[in-house]
Each structure stands twice: as structure tokens, then as C-alpha cells.
Structure 1
Amino acid sequence: MTDFTPLLSLLGGALIGVAAVALMALHGRIAGMTGILGGLLPVAGDWGWRAAFLLGAIAAPALMIRAGGVAISFESPVPMVWTVVSGLLVGVGVVYGAGCTSGHGICGNARLSPRSLVATVTFMLASFATVFVIRHLIGGF
């Protein structure tokens, strides 16, 4: 179980929103993490901002941990093989859904995109169903 942290969650959400708006305003790009990551290879003309965005997404939490002196547990009761399989399934979904949860959920919905609304509802329903099946029907994790 995790601790409920509404103020930190609000701050984190606001920072994600500011980053998404800044990327759109300054570069005309959507802040979808898989699209940004996928655009790193092959190295092209817009490689720099992609690398900086991803580096910031990794460095910022590391700096917060360092500054706050609080170590965050990254343990999971889920076996690594299931984590890898899940990641691959999400990757396939990203390709077929023409974007990821951050691209559709944050940026697409903010632009009132009907496709993003349908994609986000689909992500959420699939997540709810998966958790229900695993926790209540299968009895795992």
C-alpha cells in the first residue's frame, strides 16, 4: 500500500502539465513518452530535445530523492517475466492506439481530441478489468 499524498500529487500533475504545454508551445510537439522515446532512433535532427526531455524525466526524480534524502522502494511483487510481457503488450497497444497514455491522456484530452478520449477510456477500462481479474478472480499479486 502507498501513502496518499494529495499535495505532492497535485504538484507532480501541475509539473507534468507545464512540461506538456511548454513542449507544445516551444516545439509544437506532443509530450507522449513513447513517441519521444521512439523518435530517438535513428538519430535525427530533432534528437536533442527528445534526449533532454527523457533525461529530465529520469534526472528530476533522482534529484528529488537526493535532495529529500528519502529512498523510494522500487520493489514489485510481480515476477520480472510478467513485467517484461506486460511492457511488450503495452508497446503493441501503443502502436495500434497511435499513442500512449501520456500522449492521449494528457495532451490529446487537453486538445479535446475525440480519438484521445476514446483511447483514454479504453486504457482505463482495460486497467480496471486487469486489476479485477488478477486480484479477485485469479487471486494473484
Structure 2
Amino acid sequence: MNLYTSIFPHGWQHYLLGGVLIGTGVSLLFLFTGRIGGMSTLFSSTWSFAVQRPFFQQARFVDSRNWRLVYALGMILGAMVWWLGWAGGAPQTTTVPAWQLAVGGFFVGYGARLGNGCTSGHGICGLGSLRWPSLMAVLTFMATAFLTANLAARWLA
């Protein structure tokens, strides 16, 4: 097995297609509405429906909550199409225990709030807008991800 097949054991085409679709989607969202397609604000804007505390009732959350829910629903449905194999591939599964997924999700969510945005907001929209803070955030995300993946591989092996 060469380096190429060890990095992309299932091929590279679906990664390219996914990147093109994501880039096209956020570009069209911005072009037609002027909105940034990041996801970390979705959490706070969704809580604005139920929690009346001043933080969640900020105009930026209340005014954007409806379109953000539709945006999130589209991403969830798109992921479901792929996960269930409706796009022509086999249904996807994982051997990662649910507790590890939950802990990882918690840390990703915490990091997104701490970093004032998530990988989609900074990595796709921020870099596409040539924003310096987004470049710094993406470099931090990637360095942390590489370090964490290598430590976890050694610890869990």
C-alpha cells in the first residue's frame, strides 16, 4: 500500500465532491442573502426560542434563528442521504463508542464557543473572505486536531 492509498483508502473523489458542494452552498448563501454559513451560532440561536436570559435574546440570535434551523436541517438531511447510502454508496457505520462521540462533541462545541466560531464558519466562510482571525483559528484547529489524533491513536492503541 502506498502513501496515497493509505491516506485515501476509499479514493479522493467523494472528498472533492463534498468540498465543491459545501463551497458552492456557502457561496450561494452569501451571494443571495449576505449571510455567513457557520454553524456554531445555531446552538445559541436555537436556545433563544426557549431561554429568556438576555444572552440568548440578543438580536443576532433571535433574528437569525429561523433561517439557521432551516440551514441545519438541510445539512442533517444531506448527511442522512449519505449515511443511509441513498447517494449510491453503502450505508455508513462507525465502531467508535457512543461515549467517545459524546465527549468529542462536547469538546468541539466548547472549542467552537471559545474560538468564537466553528470550523465551518472560520474554515469555509472566514478563509473564503480572507479574514486574518479565521486563518489563525483554522491553524489552531488543525494543530490541535493533529496533536489530539496522534495522542489518541497512541493512547487507545
TM-score bin, normalised by smaller chain? 0.7 to 0.9
Secondary structure at the counterpart of residue 46 of structure 2 = coil
Residue number in structure 2 paired with 1:11: 17
How big is the shift at 1:22?
A: 1.4
SS in 2 for 1:66: coil
For normalisation by structure 2, the TM-score amounts to: 0.75
The residue aligned with 2:46 is: 40
C-alpha displacement of 1:68: 2.0
Give me the TM-score of the superposition, normalised by structure 1.
Answer: 0.83
Q: Which moved more, 1:49-58 or 1:98-107?
A: 49-58
1:20 is matched with 26
2:95 aligned partner: 76
The number of equivalent residue pairs is: 137
Specify the code of the residue in structure 2 equivalent to 1:105: G
Contact kept in structure 1, 2:127 and 2:134, CA below 8 Å:
yes
Q: Which of 72, 77, 83 pairs up with 1:54?
A: 72
Higher relative contact order structure (alpha carbons within 8 Å, sequence separation ≥ 6): 1
How far off its partner does 1:80 sit?
2.6
Deviation at 1:85?
Answer: 2.2
How far residue 23 of structure 1 moved from its aligned partner, in angstroms, is 1.5
1:123-134 equivalences under 5 Å are 123-134=141-152
Amino acid paired to 1:30: I
> Does the 8 A contact of 1:37 with 1:50 survive in 2?
no
Q: 1:63 to 1:90 in 2, by over 3 A?
A: closer
Counting aligned pairs with the same residue, the percent is 34
Point out where structure 1 has 5 or more consecutive residues left out of the alignment. Answer: none
User: Secondary structure of the residue that 2:91 maps to in structure 1?
Assistant: coil
The answer to whether the 8 Å contact 2:42/2:65 transfers is: no
Aligned twin of 2:3:
none
Q: Deviations over 1:54-82 (max 9, x none)?
A: 11111123335225263111x233x3333
The one of 30, 33, 38 equivalent to 2:36 is 30
Aligned alpha-carbon RMSD (Å): 2.2
Deviation at 1:53, TM superposition (A): 1.1
